[in-house]
Amino acid sequence: MDFELKSVSLAEAASWSADALVVLVSDSPASAASDSPLAALIAQAHGSGALESGVAKLLSAYQVSGVQAARVLLVRAGDGSPSSVRKAVAAAVGALKQPGIQKIALMLGLIEPDGDAVSAAVQACAEASYVYTHTKPSAKARALRRVVIGVSKPDAVRDGFAYGKALVVGMEVAKEWANRPANHATPSMLADCARQLGRKPGFKTEVLGPKEVKALGMGAFLAVAQGSAEPLRFIVLRYNGGTKSSAPVVLVGKGITFDTGGISIKPAAEMDEMKYDMGGAASVLGTFAALAEARPAINVVGLIPSCENMPDGLAIKPGDVVTSMSGQTIEILNTDAEGRLILCDALSYAARFKPRAVVDIATLTGACVIALGAVRSGLFSPDDGLAAALQQAGEAALDPCWRMPLDDDYAEGLKSNFADMGNVAGRAAGSITAAKFLQKFTAELNWAHLDIAGTAWKSGAAKGATGRPVPLLLRYLVSEAQSPLPDVPPRRKAPAKRPHKG
């Protein structure tokens, strides 16, 4: 989509050439000049009660005298906050989602938006008009091609406008790859997407296959992948926006491109949605696509361990013991708890970058969906500073998370008689015990874990990827680039590494 930011008054907006003109209005009557046709329309709508109160309430008008656009939509934007603007614009663009609407003029000047509100408007335009077409030739592609946004003071919101455009690019990459079925989004295909990103200035991509992963001693990752005919891929993305001496932030995305549950097989109902089990990987790819547009002054590394979890004759079995890259052994009590197995080796690999922070992103547990639903992602971190930074980023980006506990007592259930740990600890507090498992591989790291099982996609009639938590991640990275924190030293010594036994 093409976005343009212009300085426009309400009177000038009447002469805009567009298929539809959308005007966001507050709950109080507009104070524009009485001789403006749009001001007259707004005053009449307020006076007659035709435009109901409440954010995102709409009034549609056709062939308004003195207005060039054939269709005019007045939309309530409440207090003009980013959240209200996003709801209002999404409602308007949704109402205009039809083949004949290719250009929209969006007038925000009456609500005096800040940069975040303009960014929210850009994001809402893209989200409301998004159409998945990759494997559906019968789908009508997005008709909306151009959006012109009018404000009274463009210079004051130009940064927010540019940020919103970058975010849209990233979210659409994330949604595209998460929405693709597993046979159109294999580990090798994800690697190809990463290679394309690696061609951009300041970017670099490295892709490791089974041979290299075995040489690294990633026994947990290899164990999950061994039941599939699709070869695993370990993707390493680098964005070098900061100085060479600046420690990077590392993002680790779970890339299970399809999850049958393995030998501990899932029920058939809704198993198709397990194509979304690479939502963490998709969010890392999307964040890097956004970084290519936003170009913040920060170094970022993206790690994506990617494979399928299948139940063939070579697949791992409950009771098997595998050796992770860290040297710690793991008893596989449930093969459907596979995401933490590929992540633990990626977290061990992350330590080599001496990162300032590591954030892993994963559709990890159904327990997190029960706890937080589809509103907030689960946030786990032993570090108050990192947790606060991520929470603040999520709130500002309208992509909220909620910090969950990490008491040591929750790890009791991970004890095993036959290995250093089991990979599950029962049903109770499942999202927390999964995070406690990952924490065992982060002794050298300033680490946080985002469980996005409830927020990465929607089920039912609106089935599809959301693009979350790309907004949270991009806001966090941009904030870190603007106000860098001191490098964080290791909190404790890492466990001694044992020889890898295959």
Active centre residues (catalytic): 266, 340
Q: Categorise residue 260: left if φ over 0, alpha if ψ from -120 to 50, beta otherwise.
A: alpha
What crossing angle do the helices spanning 154-179 and 115-129 adopt, rounded to 10°? Answer: 30
CA distances 33 to 20, 29, 76, 397, 447, Å, are: 22, 12, 20, 35, 55
Largest CA distance in the chain: 82
In 3D, which of 392, 408, 409 has the Cα closest to residue 400?
Answer: 392
Rounded to 5 degrees, what angle do the CA atoms 60, 97, 71 make?
30
Q: Is 320 exposed, middle or buried (0-12, 13-18, 19+ CB in 10 A)?
A: middle
Order the strands of the 146-151 sheet from edge to edge: 2-7, 146-151, 103-107, 20-25, 71-76, 58-62
Query: What is the SS3 string spanning 277-341?
Result: HHHHHHHHHHHHHHHHHHCCCCEEEEEEEEEEECCCCCCCCCCCEEECCCCCEEECCCCCCCHHH
| Cα 347 to Cα 445: distance, rounded to the nearest angstrom | 9
Structure-token pair, residue 236:
């390493």
Q: Are 361 and 284 contacting, i.e. CB atoms less than 8 angstroms apart?
A: yes
Q: What SS3 class is residue 150?
A: strand
Q: What phi and psi, each to the nearest 5 degrees, are found at residue 229?
A: -75, -20
Q: Are 64 and 97 contacting, i.e. CB atoms less than 8 angstroms apart?
A: no
Place of tokens 């656009």: 69
**Partner residues linked to 51 by β-bridges:** none
- Residues in contact with 92: Cβ distance below 8 Å, sequence separation at least 6, in sequence order: 22, 58, 73, 75, 106, 128
CB atoms within 10 A of CB 50: 12
CA distances 359 to 274, 300, 415, Å, are: 22, 11, 25
| Cα 224 to Cα 317: distance, rounded to the nearest angstrom | 10
Q: Categorise residue 78: left if φ over 0, alpha if ψ from -120 to 50, beta otherwise.
A: left
